[in-house]
Amino acid sequence: MDALSDILDLLQLRGTLYFRTAFSPPWSVAVPAYGRAARFHLAAQGRCHVRIGANGDAVALNPGDMIVIPNGAAHVLSDRPDAAPAPLETVLERSGYGGDGLLVYGGEPRAEADTKLICGHFDFAGHGDHALLRALPDHLLVTAEVRLAAPWLDELMRLITRRMFAGEPGFATSVMRLSEALFIEVIRACAGQDPALAKMIEGLADPRIGRALSRMHREIEPGWTLDSLAAAAGMSRSRFADRFQALMGTAPMAYLTDLRLQKALQLLTGTAEPIQAVAARVGYQSPAAFSRAFANRYGRSPRDVRREAA
C-alpha cells in the first residue's frame, strides 16, 4: 500500500479546518461548491441532514458520524431534510462569526439540542490528478458500523473531536495534521461504498498488482515495458494487463505515463531543477518528447508551468 502514500504525496493532500458549530433548531445552511477540495462534516453532537446537489437525497448524520464530499460539490446542512437553507455567507454575517471559536446559529440555544459539527476540507494541488480522485463517489459516509470495523479511524475521529472542543493552544494545527491522516483512513474504511474505489484499493493491496504499482512509484526512471512490469508482478503479460485494467480502471502503460507526468508537475512547481533534468528524472530521455507529452496532458508547456510557479 506504499503506492497510496506516494499518490497522496503527488496530489499534495493538505487538511484545512474552517469552523466548528453550535446550530440550534431551526437551522439550514447552503454550502457553496469549492474547487478541488474534499469537504468533511463530523457530527460531534446531535443530528444533521446533508443534501448534495440540487436534487440529491438527504443523508442523515447521527452523533459520531462523518460525511466526506470528495469533489467540492455544493450541499446543504440542516436540522430537517426539507428545510429551506440560508447561504453560508448570510449565516456567517448573521452569526457574527469572525473565523475563531464556535459558529453559533439558529434558534434559541439549548446545549442538549444543539448540533455540534466539525467542518473542514482537504485541498489537493491545483493541477494534481489521479485515477484515485476520479474513482471517488459523490460522498463517503462514516457510520458507527464503519468506525467499529476501523479502530484507527475511530481513534482519529475521537481525538479530533476532543482537540476541537477543548480549545487548547495549538489545537487548530493539530487537528489539520490529524485530518490528513483521517482522509487516508476514510478512503480505506469506506472503499466498499463504491465499486470503482473498492477495485482501486484492492489493486493497491493486491500482492501482484500492488507489487508492480510500488515498483512504478519507487523506480519511475527505468524504461518500463508491459513485459517488464508483468515480470515484476510475477504474471504473464496478458493476465497482468487484464487484471491491472480491471482493478485500476486504466491500462498499465497509460497509468505509468500519467504517473510520470504527475511527478514532473510536482518537480516543476516545487523545485528549481532544470526542465531537462526533470524530464530525465521521470523517465524521458528526450526533452522534446517530454514537452509534447506534458503539453498534451496539461494544455501548457513545462516552461509555462515553471514560469507560473515562479
Among 193, 225, 244, identify where a domain stops. Answer: 193
Check which CATH number belongs to the domain holding 229 and give it. Answer: 1.10.10.60
What is the 3-class SS of the chain, one letter each residue?
A: CHHHHHHHHHCCCEEEEEEEEEEECCCEEEECCCCCEEEEEEEEECCEEEEECCCCCEEEECCCCEEEECCCCCEEEECCCCCCCEEHHHHHHHHCCCCCCEEEEECCCCCCCCEEEEEEEEECCCCCCCHHHHHCCCCEEECHHHHHHCHHHHHHHHHHHHHHHHCCCCHHHHHHHHHHHHHHHHHHHHHHHCHHHHHHHHHHHCCCHHHHHHHHHHCCCCCCCHHHHHHHHCCCHHHHHHHHHHHHCCCHHHHHHHHHHHHHHHHHHHCCCCHHHHHHHCCCCCHHHHHHHHHHHHCCCHHHHHHHHC
Please give the residue that has the higher pLDDT: either 288 or 221. Answer: 288
What is the mean predicted confidence (pLDDT) over 26-30?
A: 94
Domain count, the chain: 2
Domain boundary among 162, 193, 224: 193
pLDDT of residue 144: 94
Is position 201 within any domain? Answer: no
Confidence class for position 173, pLDDT limits 50, 70, 90: confident
pLDDT in tens, 84-95: 999 999 999 999
pLDDT at 35: 74
Provide the residue range defining the domain that includes 221: 206-309
Residue 200 forms part of a structural domain: no
Q: Is 199 a member of any domain?
A: no
162 plus 13 within the same structural domain: yes
pLDDT at 276: 94
Give the per-residue pLDDT at 1.
47
pLDDT one-digit tens code per residue, 32-63: 998 778 899 999 999 999 999 877 788 999 99
> Quick one: 225 and 290 in the same domain?
yes
Do residue 239 and residue 156 come from a single domain? Answer: no
Picking from 193, 221, 256, the residue at the C-terminal end of a domain is 193
Residue 171: band (very low, low, confident or very high) from pLDDT cuts 50, 70, 90: confident
Segment 148-177 mean pLDDT = 84
Q: Are residues 236 and 140 located together in one domain of the fold? A: no
> Same domain for 106 and 185?
yes
pLDDT at 128: 65
Say whether pLDDT at 80 is over 60.
Answer: yes
Least confident of 46-55, 174-183, 229-238: 174-183
**Domain check: are 54 and 153 in the same one?**
yes
